[in-house]
Amino acid sequence: MKSLNKFFIALFCLTIAATGSTQAQKFAFVDSEYILGKMPEYKAAQKRLDDMSSDWQKEIEKRLTEIDKMYKDYQAEQVVLTQDQQQKKQQEIVDKEKSLKDFQKSKFGQGGELEKKKQELIKPLQDKIFDAVQKEAKERGFDFIFDKNGEMVMLVANVKYDYSDNVLERMGYSTEDKK
């Protein structure tokens, strides 16, 4: 949602600069988290991401158990091993630990599989919301629509300016059971 928030902030600044401060501006806000929570596709995508993450976490725990066993075995055998054998065992443990760190980074690190999958699954939903917000703004003549969950702090927000349900309806989703 950060790119969506940055867009709204930029739009806000550009509109103020273009229209001047003497004109009255029309404002509204949406709650992107609420909107996403009403989208079955988001819930499915989130479940898929959670399942992937859980599977990878299980793999990490399995590897940690293997490393721990290797280390305990090494400690138990250390007194009967030659110097070369000790170094070989130590290197095997170090290699396993490095492999685990590489695995963690490839799955959970910056640019890792989880981040890529999140981008693949969530970005189209964010784009769908953005398009609906754009149409809502144009149709209703809003100069600015803020995201209540954005980086911009909104200390007071009158619910009469909350157009989250309008955006949901525009996208074809139910607005029952609001918050």
The pTM for the full model equals 0.69
Q: Count Cα atoms within 13 angstroms, Cβ side, for 50.
A: 6
Per residue in 121-175, pLDDT tens? Answer: 999 999 999 899 888 888 888 888 888 886 665 545 667 778 888 889 889 888 7
**pLDDT band, very low/low/confident/very high, at 21 (cuts 50, 70, 90):** very low
- Percent of the chain predicted with pLDDT > 70: 80
Give the integer Cα–Cα distance in Å for 13 and 124.
26
Which is it for the CA torsion 58, 50, 127, 12, positive or negative? negative
Over range 53-59, report the average pLDDT. Answer: 98
